[in-house]
Structure 1
């Protein structure tokens, strides 16, 4: 489904035919049954969802990964350390694509951003068919751990602890200089986010997490139930913060089935 945590360049970085700065289209579907908008984790990029895009395209679902500024082909653009501002920008960029049933999927920081975009879409009269949130506390439970204030060395150590990877970029000072500003900006956006109470979502919310995630306990994911008037479901998988990479096939199938059910009900 998804690649290893991605902080550098990857496949399919260019926009689709009409992708725009924020939205990517790796595998366009001429007449999609539904669209799934995907939001990466802090420090991540749109290419994290390249495999998911490929698999769901074969099922008639068009995946639209979001590309945050400050990385890959948007590296020259300033980072945006504010989730509310990012949500406004993404919602605006997505508006032309909401002409058919759609859902949103976000991992870690991306889950909060997906939720805020879902709120904006519902307020605009285009509610999503479903919201998938992964590895993230519910909006009203977000805490500021001060990770965005760590030194470069401490920040790298934190990323390594989450990823479990030995990526060569961590030993490349020039590459680190390029990617760390975006990672730090995302950490700041995620930690300084403050929930503003408002109407609950009408759509189903599906929460997913790794049982051993050091960032968020399983119990924390249950609090997402309070943000929808629709059904709530929690799925727990073996693994840590990036459990998704070890359960790609199961998660892809689950998303496809739940999206089909949600769009049919809608």
Structure 2
């Protein structure tokens, strides 16, 4: 046993070489004494963030991917995954809450352009206490710590997401599409409705439905920029702090993924507005509007859904909106 873990009993101390190596890296990234890190610790509950996750990848020389850390935040589970090696057919949906027997509902989160499942760990912790199982889509080609994988078209992502959602336990399903993920949420919800497992409701976070000409202008603007320019612009604006340090490889991947996601979302939303009947949702849609934003672009979602409710919020966190909407619906249903 390593001397660093004398403060732990043998049941909790990291034991395998991989566990020890990961614990040493956690110590640096989380700024914790290594003797206070055990094999049953959760990276995020010990203070880990998305930026800390990227730093961890660097400390471990890419032996761990963001996807693995998201799926296996507990040290011993992460070490086992690393020792086992990459899984060729990794699922698209990542479970962000510990297993809940008979959850009251599932919330499936779809990330913004260039984002990944890691972005939803904080709301997952908040919602787990309310017996809501939280899952998030990890789009291929977005993980700065993983081996190269191809970016998928939006329709292919939606089909895979709908298929995996169909395999979840029989509880109501809600979708949360953040930013450009709103387009993927609408596409996935439409497939779920067609399959007979309609979502209980769909949340669209902070994405106005812009007119077709504005969407085309956005695509034209991105077309004139390199991937590194796109990533640099995002970082300068306070987004995607994971590209801090300006490592060329990381900036190229983030810029490429962001561009791909914006193009895919804009293409989908242009087609949806041109033929709204083919994309219209029957389930309730809740559009989350930033506190200072105008309503007009957000109200345009009424083109694609029969029931649209706007929620003006100051925080970007999904948990508060989800809990408020569900509790209101439950109260109304019990009257």
Question: TM-score, normalising length from structure 2?
Answer: 0.64
Partner of 1:77: 149
Q: Which has the higher helix share?
A: 2
Query: How far off its partner does 1:235 sit?
Result: 1.9
Gap regions ≥5 residues in structure 1: none
Alignment of 1:115-154 (within 5 A): 115-138=186-209, 143-144=215-216, 145-146=218-219, 147-149=221-223, 150-154=225-229
Pick one of 177, 181, 184 that aligns with 2:259.
Answer: 184
Partner of 1:14: 71
For 1:48, what is the secondary structure of its paired residue? helix
Partner of 1:254: 321
Query: How far off its partner does 1:112 sit?
Result: 1.1
In 2, Cα distance between the equivalents of 1:117 and 1:182? 20
Deviations 1:122-144 (A, max 9, x none): 11111111110011133875713
Query: How far off its partner does 1:30 sit?
Result: 1.8
Deviations 1:148-192 (A, max 9, x none): 422234312431355357555352223223433322322221232
Partner of 2:41: none
Partner of 2:86: none
Checking the alignment, whether the CA contact within 8 Å between 1:7 and 1:44 is kept in structure 2 is no
Specify whether residues 143 and 205 from structure 1 end up closer, same or farther in structure 2 by C-alpha distance, changes over 3 A only.
Answer: same
Specify whether residues 121 and 168 from structure 1 end up closer, same or farther in structure 2 by C-alpha distance, changes over 3 A only.
Answer: closer
Alignment of 1:55-94 (within 5 A): 55-72=126-143, 75-80=147-152, 82-94=153-165
Specify whether residues 98 and 162 from structure 1 end up closer, same or farther in structure 2 by C-alpha distance, changes over 3 A only.
Answer: farther
Checking the alignment, whether the CA contact within 8 Å between 1:34 and 1:263 is kept in structure 2 is no
In 1, Cα distance between the equivalents of 2:222 and 2:297? 22
Checking the alignment, whether the CA contact within 8 Å between 2:227 and 2:253 is kept in structure 1 is no
In 2, Cα distance between the equivalents of 1:37 and 1:165? 22
Checking the alignment, whether the CA contact within 8 Å between 1:169 and 1:175 is kept in structure 2 is no
Gap regions ≥5 residues in structure 2: 1-48, 55-65, 78-88
Specify whether residues 102 and 207 from structure 1 end up closer, same or farther in structure 2 by C-alpha distance, changes over 3 A only.
Answer: same
Checking the alignment, whether the CA contact within 8 Å between 2:288 and 2:311 is kept in structure 1 is yes
For 2:151, what is the secondary structure of its paired residue? coil
Partner of 2:118: 47
RMSD over aligned Cα atoms: 3.3
Pick one of 272, 282, 285 that aligns with 1:205.
Answer: 285
Specify whether residues 140 and 166 from structure 1 end up closer, same or farther in structure 2 by C-alpha distance, changes over 3 A only.
Answer: closer
Specify whether residues 15 and 261 from structure 1 end up closer, same or farther in structure 2 by C-alpha distance, changes over 3 A only.
Answer: farther
Question: TM-score, normalising length from structure 1?
Answer: 0.79
In 2, Cα distance between the equivalents of 1:77 and 1:234? 37
Specify whether residues 76 and 164 from structure 1 end up closer, same or farther in structure 2 by C-alpha distance, changes over 3 A only.
Answer: closer
Alignment of 1:211-226 (within 5 A): 211-212=291-292, 217-226=294-303
Checking the alignment, whether the CA contact within 8 Å between 2:289 and 2:298 is kept in structure 1 is yes
For 1:163, what is the secondary structure of its paired residue? coil
